[in-house]
Structures are given as C-alpha cells and as structure tokens.
C-alpha cells in the first residue's frame, strides 16, 4: 500500500515516466474564471519541490527541482502623495480641525468625499461633504440641510458622527441605499462606554439616524462596514482592545470583525489583525481602512494606521487577505511613513476609506497628515488656529503590490482553470526587461503553441495588454481545462492578470 502511495504521489508531480500515470485531476483546480487576479500573497503560486520524492526518482530526474519558484518576490509599492491638499479647514463648518477619518467614493459620474469637521475639540464633530468632477479640484456645496451657528449655508450632512464611514448598499431599498456607521457615547451608566450607531440615506446627504445601536462595543476610531455580496451579509471592521476591560477599553488596540444578516444589529466582533511580536511592545493598530481590492477576485486589503506610543507618531501599513478573515502583512515597513523632520508631516499620517480610479491606469485614496503627533492634538499646538487636511495618495492600477524579479525569475501557478479567449496583463518592466508567459500541463510541460519560446513577450509599461504566442492571442481552446501558467520575468513587475 505504501509503495502504491509513493507511486501515485510521484506521478502526480510528473517526476518520473516509470510509474503509473496519475488521474487527470488531483484535488480541485483553482477557478480563475474571467476574474482579475492580483499578487497579494503566494496563494495561487506553486510552491514546487526542490528534490524529488524518492531516491530513485531523484536519480531519474537528475536531482532537478520541480516547478520551483526562483528569483521572484512579492513587492509592496508605496503610493505617491500629491503635493497639494484637496481639503483644508477654511469654511466655518470645517471648524478648527479637519479630522483624519474620511470616505472617498466614485458615484454618479463624480467623486464624493465625506470628512469630519471639528468646531471645537471638546464638542462632537460634524460630517461634512465635498465633491469633484475630476478628483483634483474640490468644492464644498451649500446644501442647506443642517443649521450651524444660525445658518444652513454649509456643507454639513450629519451632526455628531465621529469615526464615520459611508458605503453604498446594493441590496437595500432606495431610501436606504447609502449607509453610515459611527460611534457615540453610551447613555450615562451604561457599559461599555461608547456604542456603534448606524444611519441610512437615499442620497448620501439626507440621513436618518437609527434609534438603537447596531453594536454595543467600544470602537473609538473609524469603523468600516460593507455589504459582502459573496456572503450575502453585512461585514464590519471595528476597533478592539486586547485584553479588553469591563468598560470596553483595555491593553493594545487591535482590529476586530463581525458580520450580520441585518445592518441594524451585529454580534460581538472577533480579532482579525493585531500587532505582531516583531512590531515591538509599544505598538497599537489605530484604524483599519478596510476595503475590497477593486475588481479583483478573493482579495481584500486594509490600510491600517499604526500608533507607536514611544515616539507618538502614526504611520500607515498594508494588510491583505483572501477571505477578509485571515489577514497578513506582506511587509513590516510602513506603506506610507511620516515625513522627515521639518517636512510639516513628521507627526502622523492616516489613510481614509475608499480607493477609486482617477486618471486612466491610476487609482487614488485620501490621506490625512500633520506635523502634530498623536498626543499633540490640542489647540495650543495649532498653526494659525487651524489644523488638519486631506491629500490624495495615487498609485498605478493594482499598484499596491506586484510579483517582481529584480534580475530574472519565474514561477508557476497551481493547477487552475479559466474562462475566456485571451490572457491580458498589467505589468511594468525596466529598460531591457520583459515578461513572457507559458501555458503548461499539470506536469509543467508546455502546451503546444504556448511554450515560453513561442511567447512574443511584453516590455515597458502596459495596462491590460494581451499575451501573444507568435502573434496569436487566442487561448479559447484551453478554456475550462486544468493547466498551469508559467510567468518568466526579467527586470519586471507583474501587478495582475486576467482572462477575458
């Protein structure tokens, strides 16, 4: 029995022609379908084998590695912070401080932005609204919805909503198409000390606050909620504490997650992201800035703000997940560090919620940055009596991460099936670099007409350019059939691929 198992495993790996053939499918191939695939981890990349399974097979294979990745890595790529702010506290409704929490959305042919304005640091803040046609020049319309200092000539859409995030709910009726999550103090004598409340709106401007809290949990930061169509549930990411005290606060700040069939009530959340041992003893995760990776299958990301208590600074990191539950950080370094001393941004930087397309091939998301560190948010430190603002961080489409070879490298996918008639890529290569692709059988042998040597290769900066093999882009004859994709990179970054 043991010998038969060895023979079966060896055949499945394609290492020897002297053992019986394996079945045509071992396990279930990954379903690429026609969805965009991004490199946020090694999930669909074949791990390979550096040495064949048995001594006999090792001799027969010449000790050659089987489908081993070489010369490639996952690269986290920092965005570019645009030099000019898009929002500053210049209107009375903005108050003396524009908070760090914001939501950016592309909706109805324009860009929409919700942000916090603080009249006074001791009073509840207000949620203000701005919009733009192209994302660079913003206006704060006089909406006439809420009275502020005796006038409705302002851009306030919601009174007293700290840590708010807005999202579009495709499953809701028109009068609740937009939803908002924020925190408020719990009634006197209630525990925990603050609760999470919700609000609904037909247009993102006129809001109705829900009377009952959606979650009795301390989340004194920007809480994020979305409707997950894959699960058919509402999913919320909130602040947690570990360990947690009876009043809701506790030791270090962490990110917790909860899901529900109803937006109006969520169960107790569970930890999904916490500081790691290598982060040191003084680190908290302050915000989460959760969002789906735009257009990508099985890909979620966070842009959490990490608070370093020893230096009192706040910077932005990157966390990724395939299911929204199990999270990892592909780099221990910040995605967006604070600026150098004297830059005016050496104190803190936070990412808002919402990565949206801007120019062709470019994405953007809002960030807040300041010379003030976390515990310096007091009026005596403010310049000219006002502080805070929002900037845009820009990156290429799918540019958070890439599969990269600094010199030369290659890897294979695990066995997969696809739908479509051509394979397109989003990639970038240095001068003298290029990407080549091979379609191979499960044993790594190239399929006729789709070998690496047949591939014309792609060079330079390209966005969704089809792969050609001797001028041919048609792969429809292979659709639905298990195969592997071999990526060969020379001085290149591959951000994403998709069949269409």
Q: Per-residue pLDDT tens for 309-326?
A: 999 999 999 999 999 999
Closest-CA residue to 208 (of 148, 142, 159): 159
Distance of CA 278 to the CA centre of its chain: 22
The predicted-structure confidence for 224-243, as pLDDT tens digits, reads as follows 999 999 999 999 999 999 99
First to last CA, the chain: 45
Tokens representing 397?
A: 């489409």
The answer for 416, left when phi > 0, alpha when psi is -120 to 50, beta otherwise, is beta
pLDDT at 10: 38
User: What SS3 state is found at 340?
Assistant: coil
CATH topology of domain 2-76+402-499: Jelly Rolls (2.60.120)
pLDDT of residue 141: 97
Encoding tokens for residue 403? 């599969």
- Judge whether 2-76+402-499 and 80-397 match in fold: no
Distance of alpha carbon 89 from alpha carbon 390, whole angstroms: 10
Distance of CA 453 to the CA centre of its chain: 36
Backbone Cα Rg of the chain = 26
**Hey, where are the domains in the chain?**
2-76+402-499, 80-397
pLDDT at 63: 85
Is the model's pTM score more than 0.75? yes
CA separation, residue 141 to residues 47, 110, 132, 210 (Å): 54, 14, 10, 26
Instruction: Give the least confident one: 22-26, 121-125, 471-475.
Output: 22-26
CATH architecture classification, 80-397: 5 Propeller (2.115)
Instruction: At 446, give phi and psi (nearest 5°).
Output: -65, 145
Q: How far is CA 51 from CA 16, 47, 69, 111, in A?
A: 13, 12, 13, 54
What confidence tier does 246 reach under pLDDT thresholds 50, 70, 90?
low
**Res 249: pLDDT:** 77
Q: Enumerate the β-bridge partners of residue 98.
A: 117
Give the span between the Cα atoms of 252 and 283, in whole angstroms: 7
What does the pLDDT look like over 112-142, one tens digit per residue? 999 999 998 888 799 999 999 999 999 999 9
């Amino acid at each position: 029995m043991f010998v038969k198992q060895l023979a079966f495993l060896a055949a499945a790996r394609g290492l020897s022609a002297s053992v019986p053939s394996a079945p045509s499918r071992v396990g279930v191939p990954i379903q690429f379908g026609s969805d965009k695939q991004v490199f946020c981890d090694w999930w669909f990349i074949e791990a390979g084998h550096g040495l064949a399974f048995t001594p006999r097979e090792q001799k027969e294979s010449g000790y050659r590695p089987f489908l081993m990745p070489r010369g490639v890595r996952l690269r986290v790529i920092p965005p570019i912070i645009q030099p000019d702010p898009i929002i500053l506290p210049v209107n009375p409704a903005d108050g003396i401080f524009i908070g760090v929490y914001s939501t950016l959305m592309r909706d109805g042919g324009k860009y929409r932005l919700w942000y916090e304005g603080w009249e006074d640091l001791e009073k509840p803040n207000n949620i203000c609204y701005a919009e733009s046609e192209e994302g660079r020049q913003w206006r704060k319309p006089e909406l006439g919805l809420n009275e502020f200092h005796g006038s409705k000539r302002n851009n306030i859409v919601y009174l007293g909503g700290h840590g708010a995030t807005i999202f579009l709910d495709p499953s809701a009726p028109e009068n609740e198409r937009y939803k908002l999550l924020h925190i408020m103090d719990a009634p006197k004598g209630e525990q925990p000390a603050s609760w999470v409340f919700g609000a609904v709106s037909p247009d993102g401007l006129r809001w109705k606050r829900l009377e009952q809290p959606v979650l009795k949990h301390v989340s004194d930061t920007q809480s994020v909620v979305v409707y997950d169509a894959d699960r058919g549930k509402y999913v919320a990411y909130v602040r947690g504490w570990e360990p947690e005290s009876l009043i809701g606060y506790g030791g270090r700040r962490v990110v917790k997650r909860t899901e529900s069939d109803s937006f109006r009530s969520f169960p107790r959340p569970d930890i999904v992201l916490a500081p790691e041992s290598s982060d040191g003893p003084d680190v908290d995760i302050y915000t989460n800035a959760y969002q789906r990776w735009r257009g990508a299958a099985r890909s979620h990301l966070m842009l959490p703000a990490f608070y370093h208590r020893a230096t009192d600074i706040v910077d932005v990191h990157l966390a990724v997940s395939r299911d929204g539950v199990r999270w990892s950080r592909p780099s221990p370094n910040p995605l967006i560090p604070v600026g150098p001393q004297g830059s005016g941004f050496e104190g803190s930087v936070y990412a808002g919620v919402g990565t949206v397309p801007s120019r062709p091939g470019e994405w953007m998301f809002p960030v807040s940055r300041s010379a003030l560190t976390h515990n310096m948010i007091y009026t005596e430190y403010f310049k000219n009596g006002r502080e805070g603002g929002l900037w845009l961080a820009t990156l290429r489409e799918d540019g958070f991460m890439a599969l990269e070879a600094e010199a030369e490298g290659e890897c294979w996918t695990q066995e997969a099936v696809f739908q479509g008639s051509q394979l397109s890529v989003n990639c970038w290569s240095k001068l003298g670099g290029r990407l080549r692709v091979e379609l191979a059988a499960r044993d790594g042998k190239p399929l006729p007409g789709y070998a690496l040597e047949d591939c014309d290769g792609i060079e330079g900066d390209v966005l969704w350019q089809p792969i050609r093999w001797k001028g041919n882009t048609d792969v429809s004859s292979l659709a639905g059939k298990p195969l592997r994709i071999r990526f060969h990179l020379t001085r290149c970054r591959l951000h994403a691929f998709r069949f269409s």
